[in-house]
């Protein structure tokens, strides 16, 4: 999928049906130029402040399932609203952003559009939002259940200790022991130790 501009009427293909109207209200109110992009490994979405008379710009990866797409979009909208409310010198994921993101999540949670497992994780996120949905392990696990199934992909935590797996860039690792929040893994080629998020997607070897 290449980059494409998203007519507001096309939103129903990317977000839960019950969320379309409220999302459109936000996009129209804040004059958001929304772009849907192909998969980007490093980010799920991006926000650019309006400059030189241009609209605010938000991009979201188009390969996300409808719940992940919506939460990523809300994350980026929270940046926009926080910058307008508090000024664009605030920390990207500081207390101001967390406050606004919590407000927006609460609005959408009240619509009853999330499955129970995602709703529970969103409720938990409201107490202390992280910098991104990928930073919330429980939320990521819940949203992943609604992805199109790729039988070859597993989370690092699903790989047995001592077994090999391959990352997207082709490197081979041996799964090691579980630390408090990360998993120790040995790169086969170099012998170097890397710490992986338990919910990082890999391919078993």
Task: Determine the structural domain holding residue 165 and report its residue range.
Answer: 154-204
Choose between 165 and 139: higher pLDDT. 165
140 and 158 assigned to the same domain? no
pLDDT of amino acid 113: 96
> Looking at the structure, do residues 128 and 200 belong to the same domain, yes or no?
no
Residues 189 and 123 in one domain: no
Does a structural domain hold residue 84? yes
The answer to whether residues 163 and 204 touch, using CB atoms and an 8 Å cutoff, is yes
With respect to residue 120, please indicate whether it lies within any of the assigned structural domains.
Answer: yes
* Residue 49 banded pLDDT, cuts 50, 70, 90: confident
Q: Which ranges constitute the DSSP H helices of 51-195?
A: 66-86, 95-109, 116-127, 137-144
Examine the domain organization and report whether 128 and 158 are in the same domain. no
Residue 149 lies in a domain: no
Residue 18 lies in a domain: yes
* Co-location of 171 and 72 in the same domain: no
Q: 5 has which bridge partners?
A: 35
Asked if 74 contacts 108 with a C-beta cutoff of 8 angstroms, the reply is yes
Q: Are residues 115 and 87 in the same domain?
A: yes
Tell me: do 81 and 159 sit in the same domain.
Answer: no
* Domain shared by 161 and 187, yes or no: yes
Provide the 10 A C-beta neighbour count for residue 115.
Answer: 13
Task: Give the per-residue pLDDT at 1.
Answer: 47
Into how many domains does the chain fold?
2
Residue at a domain's end among 106, 124, 144: 144
**Contact indicator for 101, 50 with CB cutoff of 8 Å:** no
- 170-201 residue pLDDT tens: 999 999 999 988 999 999 999 999 999 888 88
């Amino acid at each position: 999928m290449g980059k494409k501009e998203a007519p507001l009427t096309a939103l129903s293909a990317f977000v839960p049906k019950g969320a379309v109207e409220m999302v459109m209200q936000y996009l129209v109110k804040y004059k958001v130029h929304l772009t849907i992009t192909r998969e980007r490994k490093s980010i799920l979405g991006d926000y650019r402040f309006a400059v030189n008379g241009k609209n605010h710009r938000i991009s979201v990866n188009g390969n996300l399932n409808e719940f992940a797409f919506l939460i990523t979009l809300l994350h980026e909208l929270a940046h926009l609203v926080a910058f307008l409310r508090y000024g664009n010198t605030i920390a990207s994921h500081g207390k101001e952003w967390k406050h606004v993101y919590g407000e927006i999540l609460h609005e959408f949670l009240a619509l009853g559009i999330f499955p129970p497992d995602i709703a529970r994780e969103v409720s938990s996120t409201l107490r202390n939002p992280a910098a991104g949905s990928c930073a919330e392990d429980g939320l990521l696990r819940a949203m992943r259940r609604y992805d199109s199934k790729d039988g070859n992909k597993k989370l690092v935590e699903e790989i047995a200790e001592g077994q090999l797996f391959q990352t997207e860039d082709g490197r081979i690792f041996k799964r090691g022991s579980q630390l408090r929040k990360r998993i120790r893994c040995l790169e086969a080629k170099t012998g170097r130790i890397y710490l992986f998020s338990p919910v990082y997607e890999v391919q078993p070897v």
